[in-house]
């Protein structure tokens, strides 16, 4: 989801390869030497950047939760106070679609490895995620004022599940292309939220 175009730092390279390897083979299935080899340095050389695999995993999962929240806040602020709720929701969906397409290994890591984090790191991830959800809930309820808060929150979580399904869509080359997949995800997310918003009082019956 990053928009920067400058070359990644060695630390960023290590995290990218660690995420890929952890997602492919599991946290315990990957050694420090293998991560080092993937970025062209010795395994022990990694300890100049990270004290160990646990620290890499924590930075990956805390980091992406923080970037999602920061990115969403930035999109809302960039849209400005006069932007209609529909425009704000489009911006939030666009940002999450970028994440779902570009950071598929991190989705897999979150699903499989979150419980391996220290309690403090796991609580931080959950805190950042709650703030991210509530930002979406506020925008959704601005767009659909009659939608009760619990229904809006459930709908937002459901849309996240839909968008975060990308690791299960097959190998990257098997997808119809980034643009086509992104457009499909955007339409499905907007349609799902609209269907709840149009329902009488947000009822799921």
- What is the pLDDT at residue 46? 86
163-202 pLDDT, tens digit each: 999 988 766 566 678 899 999 999 999 999 999 987 645 4
- What is the pLDDT at residue 199? 65
- What is the pLDDT at residue 3? 45
**Range of lowest pLDDT (58-67, 70-79, 165-174):** 165-174
- What is the pLDDT at residue 200? 46
DSSP labels, the chain = -----SPPPHHHHHHHHHHHHHHHH-GGG--HHHHHHHHTS-TGGGGGT-SSHHHHHHHHHHHHHHHHHHHHHHHHHHH-TTS-HHHHHHHHHHHHHHHHHH-HHHHHHHHHHGGGS-HHHHHHHHHHHHHHHHHHHHHHHHHSTTS-HHHHHHHHHHHHHHHTTGGGS--GGGSS-HHHHHHHHHHHHHHHHHHHHHSGGG---
């Amino acid at each position: 989801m990053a928009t920067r175009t400058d070359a990644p730092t060695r630390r960023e390279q290590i995290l990218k390869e660690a995420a890929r390897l952890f997602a492919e083979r599991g946290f315990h299935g990957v050694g420090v030497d293998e991560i080092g080899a993937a970025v062209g340095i010795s395994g022990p050389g990694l300890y100049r950047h990270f004290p160990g695999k646990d620290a890499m995993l924590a930075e990956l999962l805390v980091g992406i939760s923080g970037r999602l929240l920061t990115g969403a806040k930035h999109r809302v602020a960039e849209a400005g106070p006069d932007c209609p709720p529909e425009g704000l929701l489009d911006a939030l969906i666009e940002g999450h679609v970028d994440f779902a397409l570009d950071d598929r290994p991190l989705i897999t890591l979150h699903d499989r490895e979150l419980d391996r984090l220290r309690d403090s790191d796991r609580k931080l991830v959950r805190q950042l995620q709650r703030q991210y959800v509530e930002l979406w809930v506020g925008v959704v309820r601005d767009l659909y004022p009659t939608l009760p808060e619990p229904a809006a929150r459930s709908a937002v979580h459901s849309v996240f599940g839909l968008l975060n399904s990308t690791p299960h869509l097959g190998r990257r080359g098997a997808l119809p292309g980034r643009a086509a997949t992104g457009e499909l995800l955007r339409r499905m997310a907007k349609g799902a939220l609209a269907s709840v918003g149009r329902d009488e009082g947000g009822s799921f019956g």
